[in-house]
Chain A
């Protein structure tokens, strides 16, 4: 079983829509969680860290549910520039980061 699992999509949504991605992790000892964004043929870049209390950055909201071992990302008012692959990441205490396979998002005009 993979450490981190994501629905690969693709998600095709119109501009202005709200879209949500979920991700589950298998290791209950995972300590830190992140969402990364990856544009086609580019390196991943941090979108936001995920805190236990949930956190928001503009149109993006991340949530963590430790009891159910899942992480979510909500994007409101989608823009064309949000089209990318979104990677869920969990980190354990052993200095290892585990990436999901990514969820592909295309925002349509």
Chain B
């Protein structure tokens, strides 16, 4: 199993550009989520999904969209990039939607918005 994969690993955008961060898992996990990690702020939940076709907002959803058309994929879209979205983005998956299981993280995408 590849586990959780994320692409790209690094990205530089200009303010106002849009892009999609890709996340895929091959463990047939129901639950997937996106976090951003900023210095001094820890990981903050952006959006999550408890199964295909179901998504919900986390702590910091503004400026981001998600969709979950398959169990495997959970892309994160930045609609109009802003410098405040410069961060490290982690995708994670979890075997169950119950919240009682450990999460498996992808390697992260380091995004810089100029």
Contact = CB atoms under 8 A, between A and B. Distances in A.
Interface residues on B, range: 20 to 34
Contact of A97 (B40, B50, B99, B106): B99
A42 interface: yes
A93 B97 CA distance: 9
Interface residues of A, number: 24
B43 A96 contact: no
Interface stretch (A11-19, A44-52, A57-65): A44-52
B23 to A, nearest CB: 12
B100 A97 contact: no
Contacts of B12: none
Interface in A72-104: 87, 91-102
A46 B39 CA distance: 20
Contacts of A8: 40
